[in-house]
Amino acid sequence: MSARRGGGATMQDVGKLAQVSAMTVSRVLKNDPRVSEATRERVFAAVDRLGYRLNETARSLRLGGSGMIGLVVTNLANPFYSRLALGVQEVLAEHGFRMLLSNTGEQAELEPGLVNGLIDHRVEGLIVVPAGSRQQHLADAMRHVPVVLAARPPAGLDTDCVLVEDFHGAREATTCLLAEGHTRIAFLGNPPALYTGAERLRGFWAAHEEAAVEPDSALVRQGLVDAATAEQATLELLDLPDGPTALFCTNNRISQGAIRALYKAGAALPLAGFDDFDLADVLGLPLTLVSYDADEIGRQAARLLIDRLGRQDTETPASRRITVPTRLMRYGPHPGARPGRKPSQGA
């Protein structure tokens, strides 16, 4: 073990202050059980006082863990996951943990390797946004560390998760369009195998059933993965002889692709969808966006994991599910709604 770069304290400095040899300092930092508790405390006190380079490692060894938590998300290019990561980091920092971040790029086949790699790096727990419905690798991981899921629920696992009101948000946003008289609403969704895509389609369908309106399956497009595929799908829908009079989109990237298509086609159809986004209020389009606190999803997931870590030597609580609420944000011009069930609205 070497001195801290930049001329900081050395192991010899720590040993001199603690009145032990440098070898004893090394044994303490390696958690050697042969070192007495009194000696360990003197060494850690010296490490703290001098700001030795291995200060954080020494603290984690004293606590019996690495002090690191792994976070696996599906797409860091999506602002939702960046905000979720910030929420996780905020809570971990409050409890003295650090975060190791991995990104699957929405490729489910990469997830097992990333999870195993984080375990190999001795993380004390994992927060995972699953990229697919197969989660056996997470069951294997749970034999080593606690695992909490975010944004998508466990499939065959008994573990904690934090979700969004996907069904409720989609139903309320679709209800707004129906209340304005739209009976031909296109659905632009992510892959149906994803929990969020399936739940938001279910909410879309439920709103139609409540309004006694039969959705047109010809206006449903699923499997969209980014703004480009959403733009192309929207242009195809707009070219139909009996096209849609409004659009519903299941996430912000799909909404952005659809808006680009509306711009190219010179159309100003009302659009409802999940995820508020920057500049939505200045586009001049009739937008109804499902908003929620993505940071809070991360914060709640981190709290659940830290609670699990604190209970490892005591009772194990039953798995818990927390749902983060949604609210509607309305931008641009909206025609008067016809009489019917009043949708909930945000600011």
Whether the pLDDT of residue 22 is over 60: the answer is yes
Res. 24 pLDDT band, cuts 50 70 90:
confident
- Contact at 8 Å (CB) between 26 and 8? no
Beta-sheet strand order (sheet of 147-150): 98-103, 68-73, 125-128, 147-150, 161-164, 321-324
> For residue range 303-342, what is the model confidence (pLDDT) as tens digits?
999 998 877 656 667 899 999 999 999 998 876 544 333 3
The more confident residue out of 310 and 87 is: 87
Backbone angles phi, psi at 186, to 5 degrees: -80, 145
- pLDDT at residue 212 in the model: 97
How many other CB atoms sit within 10 Å of the CB of residue 263? 13
Give DSSP secondary structure letters for 203-251: HHHHHHHHTT----GGGEE----SHHHHHHHHHHHHTSTT--SEEEESS
Handedness of CA 20, 24, 29, 34 (dihedral sign): negative
Strands 98-103 and 68-73: parallel
Domains in the chain (CATH in brackets) are: 11-63 (1.10.260.40), 68-164+294-316 (3.40.50.2300), 166-291 (3.40.50.2300)
Whether the pLDDT of residue 223 is over 90: the answer is yes
- pLDDT at residue 55 in the model: 44
How confident is the model over 94-109, as a mean pLDDT?
91
Handedness of CA 121, 123, 128, 134 (dihedral sign): positive
How confident is the model over 73-86, as a mean pLDDT?
92
Nearest to 136 by CA among 108, 117, 164: 108
Q: How many Å apart are CA 248 and CA 66, to the nearest integer?
A: 45
Angle at 338 between CA 332 and CA 343, to 5 degrees: 65
| Three-class SS state of 317 | coil
- pLDDT at residue 154 in the model: 93
Give DSSP secondary structure letters for 163-213: EE-HHHHHHHHHHHHHHTT---EEEE-S-TTSHHHHHHHHHHHHHHHHTT-
How confident is the model over 18-43, as a mean pLDDT?
82
Tell me what the pLDDT averaged over the chain comes to.
87
- Contact at 8 Å (CB) between 309 and 278? no
- pLDDT at residue 50 in the model: 85
Which single residue is written with the structure tokens 């059980």?
Answer: 33
Nearest to 258 by CA among 233, 221, 287, 286: 233
pTM attached to this predicted model = 0.76
**Which tokens go with 43?**
């060494």
**Which tokens go with 131?**
């990229």
Alpha helices in 64-142 (DSSP H): 79-94, 111-120, 136-141
Where is average pLDDT lowest: 19-23, 37-41, 101-105, 106-110?
A: 19-23
The more confident residue out of 65 and 93 is: 93
